């Protein structure tokens, strides 16, 4: 059947469901767990009859959760606006789910934008750092990679074509913007991407299969123009030649394309809604499989998928005052359960969900939501080879498992307990822990100097906490300090060697601890070398600096003479990240010099160790600064506005145009509200686009009585605390400049299909010299200027304004200027010469 849904559900779709009393559920738990406790899920998975087996031939069960968002305009799983992605994935793992179904759109794959809807700070520290500036596919890589590292598996689901909040309304697996060829090509892209070894952990690939299309359905947009199943008598048999609607034929084509790249992936094929006049949930009708099954070129990789929901979503005919658990069993067996029962293929209940009130989770009322959900849990307990993923993890969903802050405690303990009764643990997940390692295993430092080593921390098994670092075994006269302690990610270890420290080599131990986790230890071979008789040392007043793109940071570099050295030292900087430049206040220097680091607005936020080196004759020394860049909120630092041209002339009673450009190089896109100040009396300013985030045409209109002279007009753009401006020199001339007269010679030099070139000569036939000029005209046949030389040109529709450059504004009385010309386009029919030239407000003849 077909219907439209409205209300609070974030994901609108059609669905169905069933139930058992809670006592019966609990009674079944021990038997079920005893059957599955040995399951591991090693390697890639395949099928045998109605079962899914791992690479060792042991039976496994998909018992997972849906986590959506990549298919929406956010192009990223939801909830990261509140939590770090590690935290959410650790929650999924700790709650006992073994697989995540992750929806995505074809638009996300093909445009691969850079998502921004995530927080960078939570729980007292930076979060989601791996996502900073990444594309959507790179973010998906990051999510998949960490999920695999903690023993979770992933099923990727093509939820829709264009990014959106529901299934595809047309019921098909393609749209005009993303045709079937794109759909198959995008699946091939994903198959290639996730066959890489970087997504395999302890021999277990993370991505185990592809759900080819979410909820195909026949009845779309009020007619049977959606997806049909082969043999459907209500659609003339839905012949296999009907490739525009035949869903199983399309599924075979996509599945075979994927398996040609990776023959070990599971291929999930959903049902549609109607078959031979019998209709149910969208994606939930697999009746046609009995007579027309899907056949893939690679055997034992096919799983059928159904979706099922309760009466809260839609009042299906089987929800009524006579509904029982047995009648719901019969409904599920009719639509999809029979496939599992006859052993022809595994079945996966890809979506089902309920609200969080107790009556919507368990109830004895016939036809109620609670009866449906409780009965469905019982059905899945009685059929442990049927696989499932609950809809949905997302806290903003009506059927949410977590709250809106994506906290680790489920909204409903009752619902979680029922889902736990049908969970299936996978073995082989690594235990939480970490390891530490130095960037250099051996370090040599001269007496009276410092040296640094970066200690890197690698998390394993879902651990994301901070690690306390300590150093032992330091030789006499040597001290050590960590730049961050406790640390996450890495910490720069600085060794300071006094002038009195004895020369020699010592093995120094670095140990990391975090709570009850097993400590990790590494070593550095530290060699103290004797100080040369003469030289110098360099030091920085701040061993670490923070800088933001568009910002500046400073440090004081000191030269310390040693052994009688008294020369000047030439300083230089290396290791600067892209977009950051350095300068010294005094260079060479014999004392101190201020180091100024300036980050451009396009600088990438990449932590770096900056090295300051000094050379004086045969002597050399260095020191280092740990530099961290952070991305700021939008500020005036990296936003500017410019005008083109910057010098304008307008006559009384005329107007002149200018182009205002808003330049933004970092941070969120900001629309600036434009205003003009310093206008002379009688002159008004209007902007074509306001607020503007790109370009806006400024028109300055002088009344017949406008004040004459030269003025500075300031254009200012504001947004919140942002305020930037640019000046324009405006000259207002008398209406006729005391005898201004002009003649324009417009010559078409050459003309070709679609294009032409023209030269323009300005003749000053009056008695007054021209200091700056503004020439305007209108095209009559849709011509456009594409390239103009020796002038500043603005075109708005048919109207063109050209103002002089700094070098060609003067035209003496009786003189002319003939250096201007342009290339343009025309309509290949008429290219009339303009006859309405106006120079500085005076019509030319």
Q: Which of 490, 594, 577, 586 is nearest to 542 (CA)?
A: 594
Q: What is d(CA 152, CA 140) in angstroms, rounded to the nearest whole number? A: 14
The secondary structure of residue 517, as a DSSP letter, is: S
Among 687, 734, 690, smallest CA distance to 713 is for 687
685 within 8 A of 713, measured Cβ to Cβ: yes
Query: What distance lies between CA 331 and its chain's CA centroid?
Result: 42
The position carrying tokens 């030319």 is: 844
Which candidate in 71, 107, 215, 362 is catalytic? 215
- CA 393 remoteness from chain centre: 21
Instruction: At 647, list the tokens.
Output: 């010098």
Q: Which residues of 524-556 are buried (b: 16+ CB within 10 A; e: fewer)?
A: bebebeebeeebbbbbbeebbbebbbbbebebe
d(CA 715, CA 703): 20
Q: CA 659 to CA 661: how far, in whole Å? A: 6
Rounded-to-integer distance, Cα 182 and Cα 175, Å: 10
**Nearest Cα to 676, choosing from 662, 686, 690?**
686
Helix, coil or strand: residue 788: strand
Q: Helices in 689-763 by DSSP H: which ranges?
A: none
What is d(CA 403, CA 227) in angstroms, rounded to the nearest whole number?
A: 35
**Angstrom distance (rounded) from CA 296 to CA 289:** 14
CA 828 to chain CA centroid, Å, is: 45
> Residues 725, 717: contact at Cβ < 8 Å?
yes
**CA 370/CA 743 separation, integer angstroms:** 88
Q: For the stretch 641-658, what's the b/e string if a residue is b when 16 or more beta carbons lie within 10 angstroms of its beta carbon?
A: bebebebbbbbbbbbbbb
Say if residue 278 is exposed, middle or buried (CB neighbours under 10 Å; 0-12, 13-18, 19+).
Answer: middle
* Environment class of 461 (CB within 10 Å of its CB; exposed 0-12, middle 13-18, buried 19+): middle
- State how far the Cα of 614 lies from the Cα of 482, in Å rounded to an integer: 24
Q: How far apart are CA 694 and CA 671, in angstroms?
A: 8
Number of H helices, E strands in the chain: 10, 50
Q: What angle do CA 839, 841, 842 make, to 5 degrees?
A: 65
The answer to whether residue 374 is catalytic is: no
Q: Contact 360/372 with Cβ under 8 angstroms? A: no
Residue 392, preceding peptide bond in cis (omega within 30° of 0): yes
User: Do 96 and 388 form a contact (C-beta atoms < 8 A)?
Assistant: no
Q: SS3 for 746?
A: strand
Q: Backbone phi, then psi, for 594, in 5-degree steps?
A: -85, 120
Question: Which residue is catalytic, options 71, 270, 351, 562?
Answer: 351
Please give the structure tokens belonging to residue 532.
């040369």
Taking the C-alpha atoms of residue 376 and residue 761, their distance in angstroms, rounded to an integer, is 85
- Whether 215 is catalytic: yes
- Quote the CA–CA distance of 393 and 384 in Å, as a whole number: 22
Task: Please give the distance of CA 155 from its chain centroid, rounded to a whole number.
Answer: 20
Cβ atoms within 10 Å of 709's Cβ, excluding its own: 10
- For residues 829 and 681, give the distance between their C-alpha atoms in angstroms, rounded to a whole number: 45
How far, in Å, CA of 702 to CA of 384, rounded? 83
Catalytic positions, please?
Answer: 215, 351
């Amino acid at each position: 059947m077909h219907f439209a849904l409205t209300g609070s559900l974030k994901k609108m779709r059609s669905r169905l469901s069933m139930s058992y009393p809670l006592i019966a559920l609990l009674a079944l738990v021990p038997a079920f767990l005893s059957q599955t406790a040995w399951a591991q899920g090693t390697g890639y998975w395949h099928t045998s009859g109605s079962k899914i087996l791992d690479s060792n031939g042991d039976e496994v069960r998909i018992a997972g959760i849906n986590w959506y968002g990549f298919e929406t305009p956010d192009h990223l799983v939801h909830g990261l606006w509140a939590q770090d992605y590690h935290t959410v994935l650790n929650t999924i793992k700790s709650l006992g789910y073994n697989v995540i179904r992750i929806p995505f759109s074809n638009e996300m794959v093909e445009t691969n934008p850079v998502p921004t809807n995530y927080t960078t700070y939570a729980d007292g520290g930076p979060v989601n750092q791996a996502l900073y500036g990444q594309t959507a596919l790179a973010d998906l890589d990051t999510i998949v990679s960490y999920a695999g590292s903690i023993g979770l598996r992933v099923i990727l689901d093509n939820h829709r074509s264009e990014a959106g909040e529901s299934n595809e309304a047309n019921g098909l697996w393609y749209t005009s913007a993303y045709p079937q060829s794109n759909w198959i090509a995008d699946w091939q892209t994903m198959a290639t991407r996730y066959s890489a070894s970087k997504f395999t952990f302890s021999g277990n690939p993370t991505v185990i299969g592809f759900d080819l299309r979410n909820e195909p359905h026949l009845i779309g947009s009020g007619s049977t123009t959606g997806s049909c199943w082969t043999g459907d008598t209500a659609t003339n048999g839905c012949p296999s030649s009907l490739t525009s609607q035949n869903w199983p034929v399309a599924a075979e084509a996509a599945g075979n394309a994927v398996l040609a790249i990776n023959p070990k992936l599971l291929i999930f094929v959903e049902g549609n809604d109607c078959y031979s006049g019998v209709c149910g949930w969208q994606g939930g009708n697999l009746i046609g499989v009995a007579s027309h099954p899907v056949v893939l070129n690679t055997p034992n990789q096919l799983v059928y998928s159904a979706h099922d929901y309760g009466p809260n979503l839609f009042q299906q005919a089987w929800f009524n005052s006579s509904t029982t658990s047995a009648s719901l069993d019969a409904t599920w067996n009719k639509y999809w359960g029979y496939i599992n029962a006859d052993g022809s293929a595994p079945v996966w209940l890809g979506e089902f969900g309920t609200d969080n009130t107790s009556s919507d989770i368990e109830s004895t009322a016939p036809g109620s939501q609670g009866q449906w959900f409780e009965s469905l849990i019982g059905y899945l307990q009685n059929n442990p080879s049927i696989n499932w993923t609950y809809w949905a993890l997302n806290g903003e969903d009506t059927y949410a498992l977590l709250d809106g802050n994506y906290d680790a405690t489920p909204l409903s303990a009752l619902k979680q307990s029922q889902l736990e009764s049908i969970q299936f643990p996978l073995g082989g997940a690594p235990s939480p822990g970490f390891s530490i390692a130095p960037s250099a295993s051996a370090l040599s430092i001269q007496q009276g100097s410092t040296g640094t080593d970066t200690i890197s921390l690698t998390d394993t098994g879902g651990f994301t906490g901070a690690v306390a670092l300590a150093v032992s075994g330091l030789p006499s006269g040597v001290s050590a300090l960590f730049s961050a302690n406790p640390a996450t990610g890495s910490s720069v270890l600085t060794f300071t060697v006094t002038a009195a420290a004895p020369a020699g080599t010592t093995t120094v131990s670095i140990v990391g601890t975090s709570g009850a986790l097993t400590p990790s230890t590494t070593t550095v071979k530290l060699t103290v070398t004797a100080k040369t008789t003469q030289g110098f040392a360099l030091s920085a007043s701040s061993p670490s600096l923070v800088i933001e793109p568009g910002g500046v940071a400073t440090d004081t570099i000191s030269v310390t003479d040693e052994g009688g050295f008294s020369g000047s030292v030439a300083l230089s900087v290396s290791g600067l990240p892209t977009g950051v430049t350095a300068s010294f206040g005094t260079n060479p220097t014999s004392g101190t010099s201020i180091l100024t680091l300036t980050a451009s607005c396009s600088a990438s936020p990449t932590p770096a160790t900056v090295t300051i080196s000094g050379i004086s004759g045969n002597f050399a020394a260095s020191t280092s600064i740990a530099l961290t860049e952070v991305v700021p909120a939008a500020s005036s630092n990296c936003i500017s506005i410019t005008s083109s041209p910057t010098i304008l002339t307008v006559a009384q009673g005329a107007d002149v145009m200018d182009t205002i450009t808003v330049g933004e190089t970092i941070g969120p896109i900001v629309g600036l509200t434009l205003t003009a100040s310093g206008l002379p009396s009688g002159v008004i300013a209007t902007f074509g686009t306001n607020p503007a985030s790109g370009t806006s045409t400024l028109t300055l209109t002088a009344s017949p009585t406008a004040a004459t002279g030269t003025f500075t007009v300031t254009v200012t753009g504001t947004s919140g605390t942002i305020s930037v401006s640019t000046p324009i020199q405006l000259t207002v001339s008398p209406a006729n400049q005391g005898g201004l007269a002009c003649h324009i010679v417009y010559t078409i030099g050459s003309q070709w299909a679609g294009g032409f070139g023209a030269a323009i000569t300005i003749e000053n036939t009056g008695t007054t010299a021209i200091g700056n000029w503004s020439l305007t005209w209108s095209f009559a046949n849709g011509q456009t200027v594409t390239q103009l030389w020796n002038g500043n040109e603005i075109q708005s529709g048919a109207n063109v304004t050209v103002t002089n450059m700094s070098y060609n504004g003067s035209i003496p009385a009786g003189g002319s200027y003939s250096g201007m010309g342009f290339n343009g386009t025309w309509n290949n029919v008429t290219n009339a010469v303009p006859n309405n030239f106006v120079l500085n407000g005076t019509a030319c003849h």
